[in-house]
Every structure is written in C-alpha cells, then in structure tokens.
Amino acid sequence: MAALLSSNIGKTEEVIKYIAEAREMQIEVLAPDVNESGWRFTVVGDKRVRFGLGAIRNVGRGAIDSLIAAKNDGPFPSLYDLCSRVDLRVCNKRVFEALIAAGACDGLGGHRAQLLAALDHAINEASLRQEEDAKGQVSLFGDLLGGDDHETAGSSNAGSPPPLPSVPVWSESERLTREKELLGFYISGHPLEPYRTECELFTNSTVAQLGNWTGDAVTIGVVITAIKKQISKRSGAEFARLTVEDFSGSSEVLVFPEAWAVIAERVRPDVPLLLKGGYSRKDQGVENATFIVDTVTRFAEVRANGELAVAIDLSRELDLAPGVMDDVRASVEAHEGSAPLELRWDDGTGRIIRFRSRSLTVAASPAILSDLRALLGADRVRLVRAGS
C-alpha cells in the first residue's frame, strides 16, 4: 500500500482512493511528520504508513533533501531547531508554512497556529546563525569561554527554544481546509466525520460508486471541494459541475440549470451535504456515467428537522441501578432539541416494542449520546432514522 501511494504522488484522486482502501484494510495512514517522513510514503510499524513529504504542495525536492539530511543528525525537538539545521536557501518561509499547515510539524510542540505565528522569528534567528557560521564567526560569549555558544544541533546541552506565542487554536474547519490546500485531501480528519452515522443511515451509495449507472434514485453524503460554474450554450442559463468527496474518494457531478437555480445558494465548499439525484437514460451502459444532482440538504438540517432520532435499547435482562432512568430523563431535559426520543423494548420473546416520547425531544448531539451511554452502556444508545 505504501508503494501504491508513493507511485501516485501528485494524483489526488488516486491517493484518496488508496487511503480509503488502506483504512478499510485497517491500515492507518498517518499525517506527514518532519521527524519520520521521507520523500515517499513509508511503512513505520504494524499496519501503519507514514505520509510522504513529496506529496505536500509547495515543498520541493531540494527542501526535502535538506530536511532529511539534517534529520540524520538526530530528530528535531522544536521549530527553532528545525529552522536552524536545514538549508534556508532551499527551505524558505513558504516551505515551512506548507509543512506546518499539512501537519508535518505537529510533533515539534504547540499547535499549528502557534508554530505559524513563531515562524518569522524562528527563521530570522536561524538565518542570523547560519550567516555567522558561514563567515566563521563566533559570539562574544564563545570567545570568552573558549568555544562557540551555539550548541551543536540536537545536543542535549542546547538551550530551550523561546516559548511559542499565545494565539488561538485553529478551528477544525480551518485546520482541515488548510490541509486540503496543501495535500489535496484531508488527512487528520474529515468534515464528514461528525456525520458518519447520518451517512450510514441516509445514503445508498458512495462517491467511489458514482460511475455505476442505475435507474434508481441515489443519495450520497459528501463535501464539495470545488465549484465550476458554466453557461449553457443552448439556453444561456448557468449550470455547475461540482467536485465532491466522501470517505471513499473524489469525483465530479453535474447540476443542470433548473436545479442549480434552486440550490446554488446552499452549495458551499467543505459543508457536509446530502446530494440526491440520478442518471440520464442515455448514459445506461456507459463507463463512468455522469451523476446528476437534483436536490441538496445540509446534514445540519437533517439533525434539526426531526429526521434523526435518539434510540435507547432496553431489555428485561438489563439490570439497571435504582434512579438511572431518572438520570436519563434529566440528561434528556438538559439537551433539549428537535430529535425524537425512542425507547425500544426487547420483551425476551424476540419481539421489539417501540415507544416514542410525546413530551421529550432531544438534540442529536455527541454530548447527549456520551451522557446516555455513560448511564446505560455504549451499545444501548444510538442514532436512527426517525420512524425506522
């Protein structure tokens, strides 16, 4: 799998596909790391593949070769150490910005916003030091002490780096968006991840399957990564081609003018969406048939409009401590929302009796799921399609 990924560096759709396949095989694809990554994707443990630095945009071969050569003298403990040990003639500010935004410097302490805020100072300090070294100069303290006060890179005697600036952490959305810009896809997470359950409940296909023609309606859960607006030569009306992505891969879909006029304002990059549509009859039997979008629904709306319910599975065999159901009710009331609350009772005869509360509705959020699972058990609380 590492070899397949390496042979497709620069081919975004292929890399996405192989990363999805790797994860299905329980192979973990790790984010890039300046202390562990090479040019290519490499195996770094049992079922673990480390992302290759060569797949990061704005990071050239010369910069990577300099980084790898410096790393041979020992790992980089900090951003300041990294900047001081690589060749700044090939590793410029743009290279470091790309490494930070792609997550390759996450192991150097602090979070990405802090590393980026400290970058100018780290480069300036490293540049001054490299200029001094190039001229054969030593500092005043080095002269007085009979040695150079600039400790050898990686030395255990080296002083601690300056503290990183206190700046706000990037939001998950910003972190993932920056990753996407540098890598071509998401690596440390996915905008769809908070809606994985909805993807399982409300979709009947994946992006990887979109080329397969069917006469049935198709629903997929995606984020849109690119919007290409065009004008129809026949009618003069605007239509769109959308690049969409889910956990399985990336593909392009088509929105005809009539549908585009309705949904254009609802379509935004990196917003989790349910797309419903189908295929033209003329594409039957065609390889890689074009998926045509009819309607768009934001996943956030699915949670808000009552289509998603919180289900509690109970049975006669379950031995609950006294007062637990009172705690359940208190948690539900503390997380009031629009999702129906359903109780599913197994009477021991194989029959499931389902009750829906007439007075209680709940927010279908991670917080309420966590609270209820702590009270009743992880396997007894789940999200379901309302009424299913």
- Burial string for 178-212 (b: 16+ CB within 10 Å, else e) reads bbbebbbbbbeebbbebbeebbebbbebbbbebee
Q: How far apart are CA 150 and CA 131, in angstroms?
A: 13
pLDDT in tens, 108-152: 999 999 999 999 999 999 998 888 777 765 555 454 444 444 444
Contact indicator for 222, 298 with CB cutoff of 8 Å: no
| Phi, psi (rounded to 5 degrees) for 160 | -70, 145
Residues of the chain predicted below pLDDT 50: 141, 143-158
Give pLDDT, residue 152: 42
Give pLDDT, residue 95: 95
Give pLDDT, residue 184: 82
Q: How far apart are CA 361 and CA 347, in angstroms?
A: 24
| pTM for this predicted structure | 0.74
Tokens 């630095």 belong to which residue? 53
Q: How far apart are CA 35 and CA 53, in angstroms?
A: 11
Give pLDDT, residue 235: 92
Contact indicator for 89, 213 with CB cutoff of 8 Å: no
Residues 6+ apart with CB under 8 A from 14: 8
Q: Per 3-state DSSP, what percentage of the chain is helix, strand, and coil (rounded to 5)?
A: 40, 20, 40
Long-range CB contacts (< 8 A, 24+ apart) of 258-263?
259/293, 259/294, 259/295, 261/237, 262/295, 263/293, 263/295, 263/296
Give pLDDT, residue 157: 38
Q: How far apart are CA 355 and CA 317, in angstroms?
A: 18
